[in-house]
Chain A
Amino acid sequence: MTDKDFNNCVDNYSDGVYRFIVKNIGHEADAQDIVQSAFEKLWVTRAKVEPAKAKSYLFTVAYHQMIDHIRKDKKNNTTDNFDEVKSNVNISPNAELKQILLKAINELNPTQKSLVLLKDYEGYSYQEIGEIMDLSESQVKVYLHRARLILKDKLIHLEKMRA
């Protein structure tokens, strides 16, 4: 990977990595730190990384750093606060359903949340998600389906509440 390739990665993938992290941990500053660390690692190992695999490499690094961050955060007894992100993220004002869905996603465990985000935001396949998260394809499939059903139940519950 050349310097130009690296800067192209910044242009193309930094938003996605940041979005993935900030949606997971719900803290912008920490998410920025994680993204910077991920790109720093990519720069250091740029000679070994092919440009075609740079995106998955960035997500992999960012995901593992995020897991470390979450573990440290749990030790410090701090909780994810998705509402903090809500005020800073441009969300469509008419998407009430989206707000409910984001709240429901926030209640998922970190793995399920990451699976949903990687799938819906980035469009990764099960195999790619498995590579990023160190899971098998079947595990990704099972965990992600469980998450979808949980979200579906929450939506059904919400509709019942409205009704």
Chain B
Amino acid sequence: MSEAVDPPINALNAPFWEGAKTGRLVLPHCVTTGRAFWPPAPISPYTTGAVTWREVAPEGWLRACVTYERVFQASFRPLVPYYIGLVEVQAGPRLQAHLAGGAMPPAIGQAVRIAFRSLIEGAHPVPVILPAAN
């Protein structure tokens, strides 16, 4: 039996994961200030006011990156070594995302974009880091 790898999806965070299925980055926004935020919340972390979900540009820059050289999750054994990066998207929030191994990772500070891929067959698409589209 393979280990669980799918994210916890529920009515609160469903817009993000629905967007992921069609490759769109959809984030919660504070209605009062218009600012995007992360992680999902039913009330704004800035004002405790109302929240709406909107698609944002997936472009951003890489703030930090670590390299998995040890297997913790048996499901991802074939992917090791791989990277996990912290990406600050143009809308402001930062997302952690998977970055496939094999090549050198992008340099810190480099422009990248968030896309969504299944890391193993049948798994839900999750945020991955790709080079910025030219």
Does chain A bind chain B? Answer: no
